Structure 1
Amino acid sequence: MLIRYMVKELRNSPRFALLFVLNMSLGLLGFIALDALKRNFDERLNASAESRLAEKSLIETKERLEMTLEASSTGIWGIDVAKKRFFMDDFSYSLLGVKPWEFDGTKEAFLKLVCEEDQELISQSIRDAIYLGKEIDIEFKVCEEKDDFKYVAVRGHMVRLQEHTQHLAGILIDITEKKKMQLLAKEFLLNQHRLLLDTEFRTQEKERKKISEALHDGICQYLYGIRLNIQAIEKPASFDVPFDKINLLLDQAEKETRALSYELNPSVLTDFGFVAGVRELVQRFSAPPLFTIQAEINNKADELPEAIQLPVFRIIQELINNSIKHAEATVLNIILRTDNGEVNLSVRDDGKGFDKDQVMRKGSGLRGIRNRVFMLNGKMEIHSATTLGTYIRINFNINNAISAVEAG
């Protein structure tokens, strides 16, 4: 009935027909708008869900990254180049031994966390990375109490985040345990080397002592016996000149034999002390004006432990021999001081100088000196140039030297 009525009205009343069409149009538009709103809502709902999933995934990735960094003893650091500000993560703060609120983000504050001897290395590396685009790949030490250190490896390079924004970013790795193991392994190898050298030097000294005793007690005695027998011979006056020459040759043979015996086994060290032994050595080799040795020896050197007296004596002996045989020097200055538990030996001549690298490869004298210095856990500096002579400085700590010798 309702439909028939509506059809009749549409036929008889234009106004009703117009209202009907308008209502139908508005209903269709409303339906379309409602459908559009529904689709928009669904899209936003889906986008929100995807966003939540992406955010969750990002959080999980961040957590895994943090766990990985922590497990590998690795932290993150960076520098905002424009603002000149440092930033670090929590692990890096802990590694460098500073609280986040104690660090003001400046380069100066960062360098204060590093041992002084490594600060210039870090500054230069940062400058090279920023201005030259170089990679940072260095190691440094973080000083702690009681002369203990943390060892840190730092890696980094420049990163452009936006068109005008540059950062220097990288990682800090705690390599303390690895470094300590490396140092222990290195120390073990050094001690093994010292042991070999100590065995070699001890064997040399034993053989030298045997040869010295054979020269002194054997050959010298034979030469003395020959002299007595020659003097007992009844000879005519015409034989005086030849026999005088024989006596001179015997004198020379005895003198050289005793000198060789002394060089092989300087008994004066045990008989009269270290200082007297060095002074006698100087007196034996000094022959002014052709070759003059000027020596300044601290009397406290007599207090040096016996275990290091002979090595130091051998070093001085070899330095004198080198100056005579190779340097063609006319003056040799020797200064030996023992102060504050340290031994400082310096030797300077006016000879022709030499190429240090070449001599170290081919010459046995300087290598022997270097090995003895190594045995004493000391340091040796060599400065030599043609026409300028040679300057050699040797330094070691007495306690460290004793420990090294005893370890050997």
Structure 2
Amino acid sequence: MMDILKPLFIITPVLLVLAIGIIGFVFQYQRRMLQHQEHLRQMQEAKQRQLLEATIQAQEDERRRVARDLHDEVGAMLALVKLNVHQLTVQAGANGSGTQVKKMLDDVMSSVRHISHDLLPVVLERMGLAHALTALKNGLPADAGIQLNVTCNQNDKRLEARTELLLYRVVQELLSNTLKHAQATAVTIELLLNATDLQLNYQDNGKGFDHQHLLQQPGNQAGLGLMNLQARLQLLNGTINFDSAPNSGSKAIIYVPIS
């Protein structure tokens, strides 16, 4: 009997070691595959991030170019036209039509300055995000019927230029959506800064919207705008959360690390 079982005593440990080895090999293979997939995912995310950053940087460069062209060339040409109109009006004697033309030129020059400052916010570069957000009041259309209130717990605190610009563009997009779609009469912006992060609260009293529904609508401009917000904040490792429903206003809460 022992002679019959002796081969089993010899083979069984060998088979057990072999089975353990196979299990270990499969485990290591799966682990390596998961690591490889994670590495590929990280590479893909990094490439998408680089592409997104390059796209946004190209947009900002184009904004700067257009803003300078408007200010340096178009603005100078309009000023020259206004001077010529003034001289012609003086030579022809004061009349209503000349005054009206100068008024129209003043309006056009004001619009050009507004567009130029909107594309290239000088206040943002010189004084920082809090002051630039406050200055948004001056850019609201006269007939918008919206009261804009801006508060900040540290008005003179400066952030990285890239962070300030991306956050400013996010608020611009939110305000643009409010003006176009919300039918609001009041907007409140609250900027809270501390040593490690910031919170920016944007709230209006408009008709509200269904956030998820907008994102699911292909080609919807409002939905694309929200995706653009998320893309900009992604570059800052930030988040944006919406609290809105039809006929109840809307609120956006933004968190960004700044340490």
Q: TM-score range by the shorter chain?
A: 0.7 to 0.9
State the secondary structure of the residue aligned to 2:63: helix
Q: What is the alpha-carbon distance in structure 1 between the residues aligned to residue 74 and residue 127 of structure 2?
A: 25
Q: 1:105-254 alignment to 2 at 5 Å?
A: 175=31, 177-233=32-88, 234-236=91-93, 240-254=95-109
What's the secondary structure of 2:208's corresponding residue? Answer: coil
State the distance in 1 between where 2:161 and 2:144 align. Answer: 35
Distance 2:35 2:193 in 1: 33
**Does residue 1:295 correspond to 2:150, yes or no?**
yes
1:348 counterpart SS class: strand
Residue-pair matches, total: 252
3-state secondary structure, aligned to 2:112:
helix
User: What is the aligned partner in structure 1 of residue 237 from structure 2?
Assistant: 377
What is the CA distance between 1:373 and its match in structure 2? 0.9
Q: State whether residues 335 and 345 of structure 1, in contact with CA within 8 Å, keep that contact through their aligned partners in structure 2.
A: yes
1:2-401 aligned at under 5 Å gives the runs 45=1, 58-73=12-27, 175=31, 177-233=32-88, 234-236=91-93, 240-285=95-140, 290-299=145-154, 302-360=157-215, 361=218, 362-363=220-221, 364-399=224-259
C-alpha distance in 1 between matches for 2:143 and 2:100: 27
- The two structures have a TM-score, normalised by structure 2, of 0.84
Output the amino acid matched with 2:18. Answer: R
Unaligned runs of 5+ in 1: 1-44, 75-172, 400-408
- 1:180 and 1:349, CA in 2 relative to 1: closer, same or farther beyond 3 A? farther
- What secondary structure is seen at the aligned counterpart in 1 of 2:157? helix
Contact 2:173–2:229 (CA under 8 A) maintained in structure 1: yes
What letter matches 2:77 in structure 1?
A: Y
Q: Deviations over 1:198-253 (max 9, x none)?
A: 2212222222112111111222222222222222222345xx22223222211211
RMSD over aligned CA atoms reads: 2.8
Letter in 1 for 2:108: A
1:268-324, Cα deviation, whole Å (9 max, x unpaired) = 222333322221123422869921112122326732011222111111111111111
**Distance across 2 between alignment mates of 1:337 and 1:180:** 39
CA contact (8 A) 1:301 1:337 kept: no
| Equivalent-residue separation in structure 2 for 1:267 and 1:248 (angstroms) | 26
Q: 2:129 and 2:182 mapped to 1: Cα distance?
A: 26
3-state SS, counterpart of residue 396 of structure 1: strand
What is the TM-score normalised by the length of structure 1?
0.55
Structure 1 residues 289 and 208 mapped into 2: Cα distance closer, same or farther (>3 Å)? Answer: closer
Unaligned runs of at least 5 residues, structure 2: none
Confirm or deny: 8 A CA contact 1:380 1:394 kept in the other structure: yes
Rounded to whole Å, the distance in 2 between the matches of 1:245 and 1:339 is 52
Asked which structure has the greater CA Rg, the reply is: 1
C-alpha separation between the residues in 1 aligned to 2:137 and 2:228?
20
Higher helix share: 2
Contact 2:128 2:158 in 1 (8 A): no
